Chain A
Amino acid sequence: MNDIMVDKTTDLASAPQTSTLRQPSTLRQPRLPAWAPIGLVALSILLGCGIGVAAGLDSKIQWGLISAVLLVAITFALTAQVEGRRQAKDRLATSLVWICFLLAIVPLASLMYGTIDRGSKVLDGAFLSHSMNGVLTTQPGGGIYHAIIGTLEQVGIATLIAAPIGLLTAVYLVEYGRGKLAKAVTFFVDVMTGIPSIVAGLFILSLWIIILDFDYSGFAGAMALAILMMPVVVRSTEEMLKLVPNELREASLALGVPKWRTILKVVLPTAIGGITTGVMLAIARIAGETAPIVLLVFGEKVINNNPFEGAQSSLPFYIYEQWSLGNEASYDRAWAAALVLIAFVMILNLVARGIARWKAPKTGR
């Protein structure tokens, strides 16, 4: 036995050796070394910067674009030479996909960096606890306290209106909905998700302010925000209710529990984590809406705690207002407010997703 093994190994080892001596194996395609992609990236970035400097291009965007084009071209040409056309196409696609990814990351990273960098300049305790009352537009100082109050109240009222309606609609669609009404509601919820925020604002404007002749107030803005929030809540709640295993409903109904108690005591508690997440994500979405506030709340420099009477401010509106003043001091305030708004929205998002993971309905295994 031993003899045979030895025989075989020597055979196998010697056979290819002799064949490679005569001609290269046709079974194995020549490949670029593993470090080739990284090397090519480095090479094309170098070349791109070189060309950028040599031609005196002042925009870094151009340097990047030149590097990207070079990378694609060199990779394709080289691979087509060494590995063949099919592999070249594959590498072409790979490099394009990577470039797409980088193309997207660059502006988004720049946005985050710019906001944090410029926003942290004037952001401090005084900025968070003072309003713009008596601050000249070109003068540094002032703060966003009135805007935070406005945002919290408007978003709070919007949530109080939209969350129950959205939740009940989702319950209707999942637990009761059959037939034409349910189909219509499903379709229009989808369509409603796409309503531009300015259109929601115009609707409240024409109904509440022009036709019913109420004054501008935080409440009017909150109603528009509620319209934007409702479909988001319906969608996410619907998804969560669908995840609740049917066995739970059947078990409860089989015990003679009325359907409404089944929904309240069995279905909703099972899905509560996901529903909370959905509502919080919806809040995060409407907290950044500016357009309805511009139309309906009108903006105010001083603190107005009453959302039902008189103009208010809000964080996104404050950013817009400070931006349109157009001087360095107001730009700084706008960036700082943007930083606060982003932080608020991101924290809501992270907490919401944390809850979703923590309270995820346990599916049986």
Chain B
Amino acid sequence: MDITPTSPTSPPPEKQPPLAVDKVSSGKATRPGDRIFLGLSRGSGITLLVVMAAIALFLTVRAASALGKNEGNFLTTFEWNADSAEPSFGIAVLLFGTVVSAIIAMIIAVPVAVGIALFISHYAPRAIAAPLGYVIDLLAAVPSIVYGLWGALFLVPHLEGLYKWFDDYFGWTGILEYNDGTPRSLFTIGILLAIMILPIVTSVSREVFLQSPKMHEEAALALGATRWEVIRMSVLPFGRSGIISASMLGLGRALGETMAVATVLSTSFGIQTSLLDGGGGTIAQNIASGFKEASDDGRDALIASGLVLFLLTLVVNGAARLIVARRKEYSGANA
């Protein structure tokens, strides 16, 4: 290598051998090459922060301009007439749809995902466990528009019978009431979103379950515990925060999902008590389907709703990451 001749002439690393690595890595670059490289890489990191800040800033700027013209109350108005001369629009219906469909998705997806994760980590025969994990990861890569196409043309027609059934037995609750019509409803969206977030929730919780301390499991088995008792006593308590953060990540996805919702749902403004009847809307879906017809003011109004979505996902994802970070600090089991 061409380094050998220069090494005797560069004494700094030899003066303090144990500290040399620390000194260089602490950011005090002395050589020009080092300085440029550090500047480049630090600059990239700062770029990322700037982009995040810019997203918040520019969305806020446009949103403020839209809100200034809004005749209605942004939080409580039940309509979206952003294009008229006296624009009046509110986020209430969309926020309701977004949150409700995401919650339905969570209720369906999280137990199933935890089940699949347990299946892969503790129940499946060795030979198929690894390929299965692989398949689940691949499914996370299916584009959301394809889920949307499948949901609109394949899932929706199959749900009618199920909804009639729900209506027969649970119609009295009011929530699961179904009057005939195409089931392009919030509940359908919930099912579709559940299918879409299954892979991510599964793969994160599977990672956590696989890390659960083997010693605890073997100790429980040695005491005569059944497999379920092992899981309940040693795997689930260990993985609890992992499950929570996986669900939050899934929730973030479900809240922001656009195309799958836009293909399945037909927007109607109004909050219904029944989740099975067609109608409702989500923030992201409203943006995607209302964008082409929107005037300049209408676009600003859509951006304002996007800002709400941004803040919502920011809070959910931030919370998920904080939970994961805390688990890393307190768990000694990984050491």
Q: Which residues of A contact B (CB under 8 A)?
A: 57-62, 65, 86-87, 89-90, 92-94, 96-101, 103-104, 107-108, 110-111, 114-115, 164-169, 171-173, 175-178, 181-182, 184-185, 187-200, 202-203, 205-207, 210-211, 227, 230-231, 234, 249-250, 253-261, 263-264, 281, 284-285, 287-291, 294-295, 316, 319-320, 323-324, 331, 334-335, 338, 341-342, 345-346, 349-350, 353
Given A101, A198, A210, which contacts B258 in the complex, CB threshold below 8 Å? A198
Contact with A along B103-120 (1 / 0, CB 8 A): 000000001111110110
Q: Least Cβ distance of A307 to chain B in Å?
A: 20
A residues in contact with B21, CB < 8 Å: 249-250, 253
A351 to chain B, nearest CB (A): 12
Surface stretch bound by A, among B85-93, B174-182, B210-218, B222-230: B222-230
Please, which residue of chain A has its CB at the minimum distance from the CB of B10? A256
Residues of A contacting B112 in the complex (Cβ-Cβ under 8 angstroms) = 100, 103-104
Does the CB pair A288–B146 fall under 8 Å?
yes
- A104→B44 contact, CB < 8 A: no
Q: Which 6 interchain pairs have the tightest Cβ spacing?
A: A196-B256, A288-B143, A100-B115, A59-B161, A194-B317, A260-B37
CB nearest neighbor in A for B51: A227
CA distance A288 to B52 in the complex (A): 22
- Within the complex, the shortest CB–CB distance from B243 to chain A, in Å, comes to 14
A320 in contact with B146 given A191-B317, A253-B20 (CB within 8 Å): no
Chain B residues with Cβ below 8 Å from A342 are: 142-143, 146
**B44 and A168 within 8 A (CB):** yes
Min distance, Cβ B104 to any Cβ of chain A, angstroms: 15
Stretch at the interface among B69-77, B267-275, B302-310: B302-310
Q: Which residue of A lies closest to B248 (CB)?
A: A194
Chain A's interface: helix, strand, loop or mixed, by majority?
Answer: helix
Instruction: Count chain B CB atoms within 10 A of each CB in A87, A104, A259 and give the residue with the most.
Output: A104
Residue from A185, A200, A203 whose CB has the most chain B CB atoms within 10 Å:
A203
Enumerate chain B residues within 8 angstroms of A198, measured Cβ to Cβ: 256, 258, 284, 287-288, 306, 309
* Chain A: CB-nearest residue to B153: A331
* C-alpha spacing A253/B284, complex, angstroms: 50
Size band of the B side of the interface?
35 or more
Q: Is the CB of B41 within 8 A of A349?
A: no
Q: List 27 A-B contacts (CB under 8 A).
A: A57-B165, A59-B158, A59-B165, A60-B158, A61-B158, A89-B229, A97-B119, A97-B123, A100-B115, A111-B146, A114-B150, A169-B45, A169-B47, A188-B49, A189-B48, A196-B255, A196-B257, A198-B258, A210-B62, A249-B21, A254-B17, A264-B37, A290-B259, A291-B288, A295-B287, A320-B262, A342-B143
Beyond A202-B306, A203-B58, A260-B31, 19 additional pairs, beta carbon < 8 A? A62-B165, A100-B116, A104-B202, A171-B41, A191-B52, A193-B317, A198-B284, A203-B54, A203-B55, A205-B303, A210-B299, A231-B48, A253-B20, A253-B21, A284-B141, A288-B145, A295-B287, A345-B143, A350-B138
B162 at the interface (CB under 8 A from A): yes
A196, A198, A230, A335 — most chain B CB neighbours (10 Å): A198
Which of A111, A234, A285 touches B48 (beta carbons < 8 Å)? Answer: A234
Q: Within 8 Å CB of B84, what residues of A?
A: none
* Distance (whole angstroms) from the CB of A32 to the closest CB of chain B: 14
Q: A230 CA to B263 CA in the complex, in Å?
A: 27
Contact present for A254 and B165 (CB under 8 Å):
no
User: Closest residue of chain B to A172, judged by CB?
Assistant: B41
Interface centre among A231, A263, A291, A331 (most CB of B within 10 A): A291
Q: In the assembled complex, which residues on chain B have CB atoms less than 8 Å from the CB atom of A259?
A: 24-25, 29, 34, 37
Q: Which residues of A contact B306 (CB under 8 A)?
A: 198-199, 202
Question: A93 — nearest CB in chain B belongs to which residue?
Answer: B228
Which of B48, B154, B195 contacts A185 (CB under 8 A)? B48
Contact of B162 among A59, A90, A94, A263 (CB under 8 A): A59
A168 in contact with B41 given A101-B115, A316-B145 (CB within 8 Å): yes
CB distance from A163 to the nearest CB of B (A): 11
Q: Which residues of A contact B257 (CB under 8 A)?
A: 196
Q: How long is the Cα–Cα vector from A92 to B232 in the complex, in angstroms?
A: 13
Q: Is the CB of B51 within 8 A of A108?
A: no
- Tell me the complex Cα distance, A264–B4, Å: 18
Name the contact of B55 in the complex, choosing from A98, A111, A200, A290 (C-beta under 8 A): A200
Which residues in window 258-292 of B have CB below 8 A to A?
258-259, 262-263, 284, 287-288, 291
**Minimum Cβ distance to chain A for residue B195 (Å):** 5
Q: Shortest CB–CB separation between residue B200 and chain A, in angstroms?
A: 11
Of B145, B155, B309, the most chain A CB neighbours within 10 A belong to B145
Residues of A within 8 A of B51 (CB): 192, 227, 230
- Minimum CB–CB distance from A239 to chain B (whole Å) comes to 12
Q: Complex formed: what's the CA distance from A114 to B147 in Å?
A: 11
Distance, CA A191 to CA B252, complexed state (A): 10
Q: Nearest chain-B residue to A103 (Cβ)?
A: B112
- Alpha-carbon distance A204/B309, docked complex (angstroms): 16
Find chain B residues with CB under 8 A from A253 CB: 13, 20-21, 24
> B59 at the A/B interface (Cβ < 8 Å)?
yes
A178-B27 in contact (CB<8A): yes
Chain A positions within 8 Å of B27 at CB level: 176, 178
